[in-house]
Chain A
Amino acid sequence: AQTVTQSQPEMSVQEAETVTLSCTYDTSESDYYLFWYKQPPSRQMILVIRQEAYKQQNATENRFSVNFQKAAKSFSLKISDSQLGDAAMYFCAYRSARWGSNYKLTFGKGTLLTVNP
């Protein structure tokens, strides 16, 4: 079974600075998808960024980018120019691309990001 590990329960960053959130995963599959979701105090899960495992190029979305290291099974999220609105719980998630898989997203336990003014 796949597992997702976020080793940093909490992180903090100064406004306008850069922070990196770590995520590692364990899988025997070669094709899969990885995601970062943000959960602000409202608790709605918001998609931040996604990565297809077959793509070597790291995904970027404005101030958010990932460092995808397939061999190391690592998928970190970098937030540049941090803003107060970035404060939230961040979840890393894995989904198999195998045909017939159960579409399940496997989530890590989350990293609580605090942004200091």
Chain B
Amino acid sequence: SQTIHQWPATLVQPVGSPLSLECTVEGTSNPNLYWYRQAAGRGLQLLFYSVGIGQISSEVPQNLSASRPQDRQFILSSKKLLLSDSGFYLCAWSVLGSGGSKETQYFGPGTRLLVL
């Protein structure tokens, strides 16, 4: 069965410091991968998605970036964190389903990021 891992689970970082969040998926191949952010008391906002190695699409222009160095690895980065980057970051994956597309997304446990 497929599993998805995210680390770290919790992170407290000072403003201006770099960031690297990692997501890996096991038990599947060629998944679509996604990064979402959830601010306190709000719904989820798609930040990046990837349909393959090295293929990244950005939904929201900001100081974050994403990379996919391997088929089942997705990394969210920043060179300099802002206070507004605080939030809950969720990685998700999808594979070809009964609907004929990679329509159903499954989420990881998330990373709580607090920027001080």
Contacts and interface: CB of A to CB of B under 8 A. Distances in A.
A110 B102 contact: no
B108 to A, nearest CB: 7
B46 A105 contact: yes
A98 B101 CA distance: 10
Nearest to B32: A103
Contacts, number: 58
A110 B42 CA distance: 8
Interface string A91-117: 100010100001111011110000000
A42 B38 CA distance: 13
Interface in A58-117: 91, 95, 97, 102-105, 107-110
A47 interface: yes
Contact of A105 (B38, B105, B108): B105
A54 to B, nearest CB: 9
Most buried by B among A44, A46, A103: A103
B109 A110 contact: no
A110 B104 contact: no
Interface string B77-100: 000000000001010101000010
Contacts of A44: 90, 107-110
Nearest to A9: B41
Interface string A15-48: 0000000000000000001010100001111110
A91 B106 CA distance: 14
Contacts of A103: 32, 34, 49, 51, 94, 102
A95 B103 CA distance: 7
Interface string B25-37: 0000000101000
Interface of A: 33, 35, 37, 42-47, 50, 52, 91, 95, 97, 102-105, 107-110
